[in-house]
Structure 1
């Protein structure tokens, strides 16, 4: 395995690290891009991107983990392009780099939290993306989740004891509410980092309709998993049966997969999905 840093992009302002297998990757194997999780550096939460990139290199995948403009070591953009649009453009520039340096023709995107939303958005804009693994993506605001979330607290005697003793987090939240102020300007949809319910469904349908593959990874009980159950499960049912979509729900963990045992499970899920996706693509290419 080899790793090297590079600058790329229109102004050479984006910083990334390429992780390469010791032996040349098979010519038909997709390259992998790791996208920033929230505002975190390209190493990812708990350095999980480093771990995943090195594991994939051991199985013949070249990858690039990089920082979007204004994150990590990458310089801010010199224009006013909304972040959602800039993230797609910079992801495509990362693909261009691996296409030029390693001959990559197809790509897998790996994103956690906001990185998952950017991965799905980029997959909808570039047909070179043949698959994306979406780890704990953003949650679409929904009244149903409030019922789902607070149901456990309503049935928990400890929650009632805290409420009666004045120690409930709900009371604290209400007490700390500021006086009403004029509403802040609402961001336009092109500026929004969180896709609407309709956009989320449209993006997933678009990737699957052109033969792309998706893998969803969630923490059990998380808002993101509720979104899957209430919004996406019906959309991906057919692709699940065909094997073009996978679902992993990891228990006893947090949003950034801090427990080491869970990191190992996540690593295995990403590795197995990447290998299975590469194998299916190679099989299709041989039959063509």
Structure 2
């Protein structure tokens, strides 16, 4: 299906944001708002968001990708994923103003943009949002990182022939390796002690609360070769509430076993596009 792309400018808390709207020739009633993760702008790593928006538009789904305040061509001060609720709300409003046929939107986000999606829902319960596509959600803390290193890095190293060759020939740097392992173990224990006092860090707690209250459909996509995804899975294992949420029928979990964090190859990006489109077809029915 053919589509058009146009730049749109819209206001947010006194600043001007820039977005790109891709509109299919025959647009459906479901639109996709692509959220940017990390300190990057609307094109995304490897032009991923640009390519994704065009793939979705060719399949009939209107899309908007935009720059937060302080990034790309938007004015204002730089902010992180915990401070973009106003930006997301303004983008949804601008999207519907430019595509009035849209009745509900799906928020699509990678890494801390996935986290921002949940934080936005937790803060607003915006009735316009009917679905979430979450890729490698960011739940980073010292505890989750240390736990992931112990399980996935040190555990795998013990199974590698290179590890034992270096150990036997004195090339391993054993003191440094042991120190790294012990340091990770200490951070895990310290994190558990801190968790006993404060439960979890604020944004992670809000993410779980957002998941618990969300009434729409969720697609969770995880990379097999990514510590951020592994940290998320570790968080699931130690949080029964989070684990229970992901078992609900409204949550579809899948992924690409060999993919890295940003799905950097053309094949991985194409797979993500296909997975998103197939889920949207089911979501729209």
Category of TM-score, reference length = shorter chain: 0.7 to 0.9
Report SS of the residue matched to 2:84. helix
Cα RMSD (Å): 2.7
Q: In the alignment, which of 247, 267, 271 is matched to residue 253 of structure 2?
A: 247
User: Is 2:209 aligned against 1:205?
Assistant: no
- 15, 21, 24: which one pairs with 1:21? 24
Residue 230 (structure 2) aligns with: 226
- Shift of the 168–87 alpha-carbon distance from structure 1 to 2, 3 Å rule, reads farther
Report the alpha carbon displacement of residue 277 of structure 1 after superposing the two structures with TM.
1.1
* 1:110 alignment partner, one of 108, 111, 121: 108
For 1:226 and 1:253, the matched residues in 2 are separated by 12
Return 228-237 or 134-143, whichever deviates more. Answer: 228-237
Residue 180 of structure 1 is matched in structure 2 by none
Do residues 263 (structure 1) and 269 (structure 2) align?
A: yes
Match of 2:278 in 1: 272
Aligned to 1:182: none
Report how far residue 205 of structure 1 moved.
Answer: 0.9
- The answer to whether residue 66 in structure 2 is matched with residue 89 in structure 1 is no
Q: 2: distance between equivalents of 1:169 and 1:274?
A: 50
How far is 1:227 from its partner? 3.8
**For 1:13, what is the secondary structure of its paired residue?**
strand
Q: Does 1:39 align with 2:39?
A: yes
CA distance in 1, matches of 2:54, 2:140: 32
CA contact (8 A) 2:136 2:232 kept: no
Deviation at 1:166, TM superposition (A): 3.7
User: Is 1:33–1:108's contact at 8 Å kept on the other side of the alignment?
Assistant: yes
Aligned to 2:69: 69
2: CA distance, partners of 1:225 / 1:112 = 11
The whole-number CA distance in structure 2 between the counterparts of 1:18 and 1:257 is: 23
For residues 36-72 of structure 1, the C-alpha deviation after alignment (integer angstroms, 9 at most, x for no partner) is 1211221111111111111111222111100111112
1:144 to 143, 147, 164: 147
1:235 is paired with a residue whose SS is helix
- Give CA deviations for 1:87-144 in whole Å, capped at 9, x if unaligned: 1110000011122222233210111111111112122222321111111121333243
TM-score by length of 2: 0.78
Shift in Å, 1:237: 4.3
Which of residues 159, 163, 171 in structure 2 aligns to 1:159? 163
The answer (yes or no) to whether the contact 1:139–1:223 under 8 Å persists in 2 is no
**Relative to total residues, which structure has the larger helix share, 1 or 2?**
2
Instruction: Write the deviation string for residues 5-64 of structure 1: whole angstroms up to 9, x where unpaired.
Output: 1211234521110000012x23xx221111112112211111111111111112221111
Q: CA deviation at 1:160?
A: 3.6
* Distance in 2 between residues matched to 1:97 and 1:47, nearest whole Å: 23
In 2, distance between residues paired with 1:97 and 1:230?
Answer: 37
CA positional deviation for 1:221: 4.3
Q: 1:169 to 1:5 in 2, by over 3 A?
A: farther
Q: What does residue 6 of structure 1 align with?
A: 8
Distance apart, 1:174 and its partner CA: 7.1
What is aligned with 1:171?
176
Equivalent residue of 2:244, what SS? coil
Count of residues in correspondence between the two structures: 249
TM-score when scaled to structure 1?
0.77
After superposition, what is the alpha-carbon deviation per residue over 1:141-196, rounded to whole angstroms, capped at 9, x for unaligned? 32432321221012222124345544569939979xxxxxxxxxxxxxxxxxx865
User: Where in structure 2 are there 5+ consecutive unaligned residues?
Assistant: 181-200, 237-241
For the residue of structure 2 that corresponds to 1:65, the secondary structure is strand
